Chain A
């Protein structure tokens, strides 16, 4: 499948399957994995050029582009986690029960989908999820900064100094900064490339297109300025400890970065789900790039624990 019309939009969806010579039939009977990218700077390519090929050696992998991202259609609304979970339910309706690996906001949507559709999700890998720590200092009430915006260096400072309409300004600045640093090949990617973080880095750096009106830049600008995505995210309640606890016995892997603002997210996961596996890897928010090899090993090991009868 490449494009799917569902709900009110046209979605781009990539399916990877094990190459035939290396794919015993049992590989295709294993539970599939749906890998969800981060908002704004992410797309299906984030996984395609990093970890998805290794996972797809043994099982089917599905990589959707969220609405307004990658090659999926941009709509005016529909960017809250509940709406995105409804999108995801439609985009996975043809699959048997599946595992999810979600990065950033993708992890929040994964939790909401698992809770809304018990039995559909077999295991959850939460990669640097933006779950608030119970001990975290709440931002001022006048500055409803969406959790993902705090991933952007300087966003917190902007929030402190921002006037009452801080939410949109900060969120826009945050997304723009993220776009400049991660999408347009700024410091984090350059550093990762120098450190030999993996060949996928070069592909992601290519998003720094020399085409002045490249599709990537147009898409990001359109998403930020022509939709309600920032308002919807600002109004979106973060995943709570109660929601995590409601996952019950679902196997959960949580991985956070040493330098990520979301590192404290491991704490509510540990409290709510003491049987979950939790790891801290060296790196920031984009662990699929900077800690690609270790994250690949953690994820493939976690998935191999699949105990569903074959």
Chain B
């Protein structure tokens, strides 16, 4: 399940940022949005929209991000996002 979500997030990141910027980066659970991907704020918003479109309103990424403290937000990883989504995403066919 987590692998599925990770794959989806990686695909969405390519859509948002473009392959050129990500060609030297292997996106994994420990990949940091800020430090490694240098994702801009509007790009993260676009990613959040794609997550909502894919997984529904229950993912509520805006509230998730708003509740994070400064350190956690600065060091947010793809894995943090995947773990947030895990319980909120129904496995296919359920």
Q: Which residues of A contact B (CB under 8 A)?
A: 2, 12, 14, 16-17, 19-21, 43-45, 48-49, 52-54, 56-57, 65, 70-71, 193, 196, 198-204, 206-207, 209-211, 214-216
Contacts and interface: CB of A to CB of B under 8 A. Distances in A.
B41 A49 contact: yes
A53 B43 contact: no
Which of under 10, 10 to 19, 20 to 34, or 35 or more describes the interface residues of B?
20 to 34
Contact of B40 (A21, A52, A202, A214): A214
The 10 closest A-B pairs by CB, nearest first: A45-B41, A53-B66, A19-B60, A53-B62, A199-B73, A45-B42, A202-B74, A202-B73, A43-B42, A203-B41
Helix, strand, loop or mixed for chain B's interface? helix
Interface string B1-29: 00000000000000000000100000000
B58 A52 contact: no
A209 B35 CA distance: 10
A247 to B, nearest CB: 30
A152 B50 CA distance: 35
A53 B40 contact: no
Contacts of B66: 49, 53-54, 199-200
A45 B65 CA distance: 12
Contact of B65 (A19, A65, A203, A209): A203
A2 B70 contact: no
